[in-house]
Amino acid sequence: MKRVQESAVEMTEIVMPQDTNTLGTIFGGRVMQWMDIAAAICGFRHCRTAVVTASVDTVSFLCPIRTGNIVSVKASVNYTAHTSMEIGVRVDAEDALTGEKKHSVSAYFTFVAVDERGKPIPVPKINPQTAEEKKRCKEAEQRRKIRLQMRNKSHAS
């Protein structure tokens, strides 16, 4: 069993002009790329093997991220199943001049641990320690049930 903090990730980026559209706000795809990278590093740290993105839950952009903002991307394992894990990712944007921080985006990524042939392999179990980690784990377990129900419905069609 592994503690959440053993694999937690925090990346910091600065939004450059080439990351933005004509309005000076970041491309959604760039933010999602950073989120996927942070989640993958978190998964690698947790499993110490290759991991692949299996799904991403709803991604909602809560506020614009602008040129010059400092972006913090945090990722941690919320829940583990047999070969998969849910990794929560949160993005905050900071105005570099004022220091004001705003929650910009969150999403839940499902990653699967794989061997060198790309076949799923077991992941270490998560051992949530704090009340918040335990709450996130329980909520993630419920989301997994819903994901599996939706997957089963789409395969039955």
Could you give the domains of the chain?
Answer: 4-156 (3.10.129.10)
Percentage of the chain exceeding pLDDT 70: 99
Are 124 and 46 spatial neighbours (Cβ–Cβ below 8 Å)? Answer: yes
CA distances from 156 to 88, 145, 146 (A): 29, 17, 15
Helices within 13-130 (DSSP H only)? 28-47
Average pLDDT estimate for 82-104: 97
| pTM: predicted TM-score of the whole model, two decimal places | 0.93
Q: How many helices (H) and strands (E) does the chain have?
A: 2, 6
How confident is the model over 46-89, as pLDDT tens digits? 999 999 999 999 898 999 999 999 999 999 999 999 999 999 99
CB atoms within 10 A of CB 20: 19
* Interatomic CA distance for residues 155 and 132, integer angstroms: 34
Average pLDDT estimate for 123-128: 96
At 31, phi and psi to the nearest 5? -60, -45
Give the pLDDT band (50/70/90) at residue 157.
low
152 has pLDDT over 70: yes
pLDDT at 86: 98
Token output for 28 = 């959604």
19 has pLDDT over 90: yes
154 has pLDDT over 80: no
CA torsion 76→89→145→62, rounded to 10°?
150
* Interatomic CA distance for residues 55 and 60, integer angstroms: 15
With H, G, I as helix, E, B as strand and everything else as coil, classify residue 50.
coil
**CB under 8 Å to 54, separation ≥6 — which residues?**
84, 110, 111, 112
